[in-house]
Every structure is written in structure tokens, then in C-alpha cells.
């Protein structure tokens, strides 16, 4: 049994590392057969998919289009947020969390998209089954409420002033 790694490759004795992401099982078998023919006379190779793992991640929170997105090779946090059509107006780009399970342990890491964009630190890679949550800015939410409720507060004052 051979498992495909997170980069979409397999490693087989005598055949070496092979990029198999996106290939059909018959095509993988043909590549393996072609590599093994140097070492084995008339190799018979069959490839069966035992279990297909999800190759998607979830982007949620204050993004324009939350949902599941396919994970491409070397996909980063910025690219994942961009796949969700970017941040909403109320997004807090300094509180973006990646949730990930590693060896059965649940982990979370907080990132600042603004700092990544400024080059303060590298854009982290994201992987299949990660969940990315873009937080909401309490300050922006408060400002939105103020803008919405402002006219309602001013209207009685205008009414009183027009009656004088």
C-alpha cells in the first residue's frame, strides 16, 4: 500500500517519487510499469484507490464567499482567502485563524493578513482539511451601527429645530 502525500506524490521502491495528483489510476499504473521495466521483466502493475481523502479546505467568517475550496499545490493563506473572494468590510485581518488536526491533535494558529502582505512574515501554507476563519472587527461593527443609528438620533433634533 502506498499513500499519496500532501504534495500529490508517491514514493515507490525502484520507481522513485512520482507526481500523481490529478491522474487516473490506470495512468499511474502505466507510469509505474514504465519505471519498473528497467528492473523487472514484464512488470504487471495495478493501482486501486483504497481511500480518497478530501483535497479541500474551508474558508469561513468575514469573507465574501464562505465555503469549501480545492487545495492546489503550495496554496497559502492569502490565496485561500482570495479564493473566497476576499475579506468582507467588517473583517479583522489581524485575527485570521487556521484550525488544523495533526496526528489526532487539534491545533489553531492566528495570523495577521496585513503583516503578511507587508512582508513582516511569510504567507503560511494551508493544507487539505484546514479550516480558515476570518474574524470580525468589533470596531468596524460599532462604526457600522453608529452610521445606521445616527440618522434616527438626529431626526428628533431636526424636528424640534424646524418647529422653533
Which homologous superfamily is 56-136 in? Outer membrane lipoprotein wza domain like (3.10.560.10)
**Confidence at residue 55, expressed as pLDDT on a 0 to 100 scale:** 80
Taking 90 as the threshold, does the pLDDT of residue 152 lie above it? no
**Confidence at residue 155, expressed as pLDDT on a 0 to 100 scale:** 57
CA of 144: how far to CAs of 68, 140, 148, in Å? 28, 6, 6
Q: Is 134 exposed, middle or buried (0-12, 13-18, 19+ CB in 10 A)?
A: buried
Question: Is the distance from CB of 62 to CB of 92 less than 8 angstroms?
Answer: yes
pTM for the predicted model, two decimal places: 0.58
Domain 1-52 has CATH 3.30.1950.10: yes
**Closest by CA position to 116, among listed 142, 143, 95:** 95
Task: Give me the mean pLDDT over the 86-103 stretch.
Answer: 92
- Domain ranges in the chain with CATH number 3.30.1950.10: 1-52
Q: Which residue has the cell 515507490?
A: 12
In this prediction, what percent of the chain has a pLDDT beyond 90?
60
**Confidence at residue 140, expressed as pLDDT on a 0 to 100 scale:** 62
Q: Which of helix, strand or coil describes residue 13? A: coil
What would you report as the CA-atom Rg of the chain, rounded to the nearest whole angstrom?
A: 26
The mean of the pLDDT values for the chain is: 86
Write out pLDDT tens, residues 14-43: 999 999 887 889 999 999 999 999 999 999
- Domain ranges in the chain with CATH number 3.10.560.10: 56-136
Amino acid at each position: 500500500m502506498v499513500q499519496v502525500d500532501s504534495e500529490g506524490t508517491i514514493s515507490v521502491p525502484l520507481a522513485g517519487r512520482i507526481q500523481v495528483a490529478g491522474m487516473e489510476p490506470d495512468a499511474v499504473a502505466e507510469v509505474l510499469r514504465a519505471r519498473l521495466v528497467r528492473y523487472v521483466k514484464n512488470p504487471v502493475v495495478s493501482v486501486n484507490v483504497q481511500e480518497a481523502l478530501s483535497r479541500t479546505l474551508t474558508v469561513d467568517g468575514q469573507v465574501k464567499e464562505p465555503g469549501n475550496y480545492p487545495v492546489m499545490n503550495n496554496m497559502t493563506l492569502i490565496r485561500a482567502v482570495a479564493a473566497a473572494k476576499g475579506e468582507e468590510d467588517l473583517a479583522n485581518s489581524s485575527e485570521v485563524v487556521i484550525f488544523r488536526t495533526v496526528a489526532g491533535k487539534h491545533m489553531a494558529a492566528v495570523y495577521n493578513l496585513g503583516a503578511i502582505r507587508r512582508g513582516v512574515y511569510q504567507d503560511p501554507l494551508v493544507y487539505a482539511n484546514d479550516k480558515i476563519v476570518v474574524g470580525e472587527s468589533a470596531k468596524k461593527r460599532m462604526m457600522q451601527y453608529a452610521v445606521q443609528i445616527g440618522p434616527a438620533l438626529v431626526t428628533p433634533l431636526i424636528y424640534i429645530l424646524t418647529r422653533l
